[in-house]
């Protein structure tokens, strides 16, 4: 019996306790798996190349179509705070996982444990946490997308529109890549409806629901595009190259569709973008997909409803296009691990398929499929920690090199603090990739690349690294000045760093020779 003397806040806390008890299993699974995978980066400042540049910022915002990053500064400050951002991110992701579990009505405890864990240890999240300055913002965007899909599923009329379109637009204004998650989940809700229909033919109702989902998604996408133009006008700036390409359907529709399907297969069968991190994990995925396909085929053989079978086939045919929809508007070379987070929807499909296995070996098949998924979680947890160790070693190597360099420069006879430092060209030869530890080739986006190599010296990253991490506010020369000095006859005979004489003062500029002049930057 409810105490009528309870305050509003007390009643809210009581209701929150009820919600926790209803979602305890998926919530705890997400948080525990998240801490096992990401605690390393939550308790250390492990900056990558952009992490240094945006230690006190959120990266590209309005120019990249991400005006939402500007609006949430009051909620999520512009400071890289690994523990606070990390825990907040895990909480947002865990709540989203709970919503997905409830949305698809997974009653199996194994499914309630596995799905949140798979969502939170997916390689895209490794990349997300390597850009810690936006980690919690992107996690919030994911939660908003899932809430929008939940609203489309559970609400009707104007309430559905109100709770779907604004959250989706705001989520895309934080990170556009998550549109594939909305498209994928909406398609899978239709798959769930078809499977639940069984022998009852509900194909017409489900088809109309699909059209409604498509309309909601299309309106959200159009309004997001309109919002970009408004934000650019307010700021008085132009869209950057990435946003311009997306706004004007970069590769073309037909070419984009062909690319989307080919890249869907390529991302699952190769190490490109590292969505599946090892051969062992790929074998586990193949087993899970095989069991899922068996369950889906059997469900339609048993139902004997051709129209529903055709509708299921159509949904499954469109799923790769939904998960790879950004290939329709952006050149494939610009799409990386973070953008492809929508591939986690495939785990929802696998769990739906396992529930449809033939009765005589359903339990054994489900156990085998769930075991495969559990091992995928374990593999990704290990891989996440290896990736964060790579980030730490990149940082330590860069810090050591930069510290030595500052000491050598300041020890030069005649050096003054106002002298510019010109560096040519890359420090990559002096920083180890440690092949004994890593098999990431190519690597997860965000973990790849050395801190002092990606943007080169004389760019924006390195001066900030020297200033913020070493306390050395050295003025660096512009790239063209460094290139001109590299071409100068006086520097041609200089030895390469770290040999004696590889750092000299020329025309009141400190010149550091990392490599021979090649005419261009490496």
Least confident of 93-107, 147-161, 260-274: 260-274
pLDDT at 2 over 80: no
Please name the residue that has the structure tokens 């801190």: 451
* pLDDT, mean of residues 497-509: 91
Residues 6+ apart with CB under 8 A from 273: 123, 267, 335, 336, 337, 340, 442, 444, 445
Give me the mean pLDDT over the 484-505 stretch: 90
Those residues with Cβ within 8 angstroms of residue 133's Cβ, 6 or more apart along the chain or in another chain? 50, 51, 54, 55, 57, 58, 59, 78, 80, 85
Nearest residue to 298 (alpha-carbon basis) of 236, 248, 360: 360
Mean pLDDT for all residues in the chain: 88
pLDDT of 333 strictly over 50: yes
Q: Give the contacts of 195 (CB within 8 A, at least 6 positions apart).
A: 296, 299, 312, 352, 355, 356
pLDDT of residue 1: 47
Q: Work out the average pLDDT over 27-39.
A: 97
Whether 299 has a pLDDT exceeding 80, the answer reads: yes
Give the pLDDT of residue 164: 96
Q: Which 3 state secondary structure label does DSSP give 504?
A: strand
How would residue 216 be classed by pLDDT, with cut points 50, 70 and 90?
very high
Return the DSSP state at 341: G
- Bridge partner residues of 509 (DSSP): 420, 506
The arithmetic mean of pLDDT across residues 117-133, rounded, is: 94
Residue corresponding to tokens 């129209």? 307
Task: Specify the pLDDT at position 250.
Answer: 59
Placement of tokens 């296009």 in the chain: 321
Taking the model in full, what pTM does it have?
Answer: 0.92
Comparing 20 with 93, the larger pLDDT belongs to 93
Bridge partners of 513? 424
pLDDT band at 166 (very low <50, low <70, confident <90, very high): very high
pLDDT at 521 (0 to 100): 57
Nearest Cα neighbor of 370 from 186, 115, 99 is 115
At 439 the pLDDT is 47
């Amino acid at each position: 019996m409810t105490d009528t003397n309870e305050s509003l806040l007390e009643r809210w806390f009581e209701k929150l306790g009820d919600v926790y008890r209803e979602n305890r299993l998926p919530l705890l699974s997400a948080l525990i798996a998240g801490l096992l995978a990401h605690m390393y980066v939550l308790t250390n400042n492990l900056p990558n190349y952009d992490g240094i540049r945006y230690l006190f910022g959120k990266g590209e915002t309005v120019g990249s179509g991400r005006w939402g990053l500007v609006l949430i500064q009051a909620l999520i400050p512009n400071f890289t705070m690994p523990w606070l951002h990390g825990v907040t991110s895990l909480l947002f992701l865990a709540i989203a996982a709970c919503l997905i579990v409830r949305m698809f009505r997974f009653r199996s405890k194994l499914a309630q444990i596995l799905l949140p864990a798979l969502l939170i240890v997916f390689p895209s999240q490794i990349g997300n946490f390597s850009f810690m300055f936006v980690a919690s913002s992107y996690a919030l965007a994911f939660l908003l997308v899932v809430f929008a899909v939940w609203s489309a599923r559970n609400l009707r009329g104007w309430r559905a529109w109100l709770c779907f379109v604004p959250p989706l637009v705001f989520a895309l204004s934080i990170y556009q890549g998550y549109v594939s998650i909305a498209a994928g989940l909406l398609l899978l809700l239709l798959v769930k409806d078809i499977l639940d229909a069984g022998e009852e033919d509900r194909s017409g109702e489900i088809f109309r629901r699909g059209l409604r989902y498509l309309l909601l998604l299309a309106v959200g996408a159009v309004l997001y595009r309109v919002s970009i133009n408004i934000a650019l006008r307010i700021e008085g700036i132009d869209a950057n190259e990435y946003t311009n390409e997306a706004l004007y359907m970069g590769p073309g529709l037909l070419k984009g569709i062909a690319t989307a399907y080919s890249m869907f297969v390529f991302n699952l069968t190769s190490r490109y973008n590292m969505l599946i991190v090892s051969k062992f994990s790929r074998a586990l995925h193949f087993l899970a997909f095989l069991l899922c396909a068996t369950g889906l085929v059997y469900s339609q053989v048993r139902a004997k409803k051709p129209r529903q079978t055709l509708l299921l086939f159509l949904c499954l045919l469109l799923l790769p296009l939904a998960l790879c929809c950004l290939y329709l508007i952006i050149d494939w070379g610009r799409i990386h691990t973070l953008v492809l987070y929508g591939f986690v929807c495939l785990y929802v499909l696998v769990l739906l398929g396992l529930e449809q296995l033939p009765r005589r070996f359903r339990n054994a098949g489900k156990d085998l499929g769930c075991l495969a998924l559990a091992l995928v979680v374990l593999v990704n947890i290990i891989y996440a920690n290896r990736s964060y160790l790579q980030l730490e070693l990149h940082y330590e190597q860069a810090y050591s090199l930069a510290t030595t360099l500052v000491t050598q420069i300041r020890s030069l006879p005649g050096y003054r603090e106002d002298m510019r430092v010109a560096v040519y060209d890359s420090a990559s030869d002096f920083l180890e990739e440690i092949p004994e530890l890593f098999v990431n080739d190519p690597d997860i986006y965000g973990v790849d690349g050395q801190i002092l190599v990606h943007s080169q010296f004389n760019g924006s990253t390195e001066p900030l690294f020297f200033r913020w991490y070493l306390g050395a506010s050295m003025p660096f020369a512009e790239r063209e000045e460094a290139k001109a000095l590299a071409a100068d006859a006086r520097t041609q005979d200089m030895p390469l760093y770290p040999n004696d004489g590889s750092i000299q003062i020329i025309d009141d500029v400190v010149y550091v020779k990392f490599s021979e002049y090649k005419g261009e930057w490496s």
